Amino acid sequence: MPSTDNPFAIVEINGPFREPREQVFSYDYSIQRCTWATPHGVRVKVSIPDELEVLKRRLVGMTVGSPGQQLMMSNILSKTIAGWKMQVADGEGMLTERRDMLLEPFIGPLAHLFPKVEALFAADQSAVREEVRRRIGI
């Protein structure tokens, strides 16, 4: 259940970074709760084949656009997925402790959380599609 009595604020987001030897993009979040003395880091990994490509196909179907447009679409969508994963993790109580943490892709042991990301995708799909259209023309 989310910490509505003590919500976190995102201080900074960096990324995407391509992780070596993994098919993931990662984002580094710096989050702060009013009860914490200092911000803490959360690295969010987005699996390219299991999260990004799955939702990209649902968003636009088969590959469309130039390589540059594809790259920009991947950046927009992977950052959006990372944000949804932060919402899900907060809702699951994974971000309540004062410590830096790594949020792995929602596959394998965390696969039960991916349907929650899919639900956020379904709710925000038209807004994401509009963002892609506005920024890159697809």
- The band of 61, judged by pLDDT with boundaries at 50, 70 and 90, is confident
Contact between residue 62 and residue 138 where contact means Cβ atoms under 8 Å apart: no
Q: How far is CA 63 from CA 35, 42, 86, 102, in A?
A: 45, 31, 27, 31
**pLDDT tens track for 86-113:** 999 999 999 988 899 999 999 999 999 9
* Residues in contact with 114: Cβ distance below 8 Å, sequence separation at least 6, in sequence order: 51, 106, 107
Q: How far apart are CA 93 and CA 39, in angstroms?
A: 17
Tokens 């200092």 belong to residue: 38
- 8 Å CB contact between 107 and 47: yes
Work out the mean pLDDT of the chain and round it to a whole number: 92
- With cut-offs at 50, 70 and 90, classify the pLDDT of residue 54: very high
State residue 4's pLDDT score.
54
Query: pTM value?
Result: 0.92
Q: How far is CA 49 from CA 32, 58, 70, in A?
A: 31, 13, 15
What's the pLDDT score for residue 103?
97
Query: Per-residue pLDDT averaged across 27-36, rounded?
Result: 94
